[in-house]
Every structure is written in C-alpha cells, then in structure tokens.
Amino acid sequence: MLDNHPKLKSFLHYLLVHPYTSRPRWWARTFIIPFVIKRGKGAIIRRKARLDIIPSKKIIIGKKSVIEDYTIINNGMGDIFIGDYTHVTSRVKLVGPVTLGNYVTIGSGAQITGLTHNYLDVTRPIAKQGVTPNRTIVEDDVWIGGNSCINQGITIGTHSIIASGSVVTKNVPPYSVVGGNPARILRKYDFEKQEWTKVK
C-alpha cells in the first residue's frame, strides 16, 4: 500500500529511522519494535542485542531459539526467519533477507547477509548506489563456526558444518564440512559407508 505513496513512505521511514544510519530511533525501539517481532514459545532475545528492525518487514523467531547479547539483526532489506531451537551467539550479524532453519548454531562473530551493495556506476559513490537483496538460506541442523562470512544468495544444506573463519561464496550441499577462504568442501557424509569421508 505504501509503495503507491513514495512521499508518505519516505516520511514514515524518516520518523522511524535516523536519516543516515540503519538504527531505528529510540522511541521506535522502545514502543514499536518489541511488538513487531513474532516469537515462538520460550524464545529469548537478550537485552543488549541490537535490533535494527522496521515494521514493514517481518522478523519471526521460533520456539526456544536464543539471540545473545551484542548480536545485530537488520531486516531493513528483507524478512528474517529463524527456526526453532536455533542459537545465535554474541556478536553475530544477520542482515536480511535471511532464513535460518531449526537447530542452527552460529558461532561468535559470524556474519550472514542477504544483500550486496551495488557498485557498477563509477560516476556515483558506492554508498549511494543502493543494495540488491538476495535471500540467504541456512537449512536445519547446521553449525556455523565463529568469524565465518556467509555471502548473499547462498544456501547451506542440512547437517553441514562451516569451519571457523570460512568465507562461503557458493552453495553448500547437505551433510558437508567446508572451510577456507573461499570455502571448499573438506568432508562429506557417505550414507553407504555410514561415515564422513575426505574430499580430495
């Protein structure tokens, strides 16, 4: 509805968010944001988590999931969906659009983003060229090591492990261990042998 009224949309955005930062104004953080987040039973958001949330986008946190202190969650460019029993450790950064499945664990300092900054026009500053959203998906039962970076548009398959410090630039198949910069597959689970095997 607001897309048909750009001036009204711009004015409302100005009321909610500081004009040159992504953080909502204090009154929005106090009186609006807590009611925008949909939480499952037993979900916990620690008091010192930074929630750069706007009401026009969704944020849904599943039951018994935990968002620790000093995490940054930003849904300004896309919805954020977090499944059940998922643990987002301190100093993690989630920038939507992002989907996390059930039983996902994210180590401290990791970054998962669902957008990229535009840069093609060399006559304009990159900061003024906007961004392009591209949803990043982390499926169920994934462990993401600390200080990893998951690029936009990536899908990480179920029961995979991302080694600490990895930079993931391509989709990760289910039941894989990846690591490095750029990340590559180190091990895969062989269902016939019922064991994890090295990938050469």
Dihedrals phi, psi of 132, to nearest 5 degrees = -120, 115
Of the candidates 36, 42, 37, 94, the one whose C-alpha atom is nearest the C-alpha of residue 70 is 94
- Do 79 and 61 touch, CB atoms closer than 8 A? no
Task: Reply yes or no on whether 159 is catalytic.
Answer: no
Task: Give CA–CA dist 142/163, Å, rounded.
Answer: 11
Active-site option among 5, 13, 87, 117: 117
Q: Which of 40, 33, 156 is nearest to 105 (CA)?
A: 156
Catalytic residues: 117
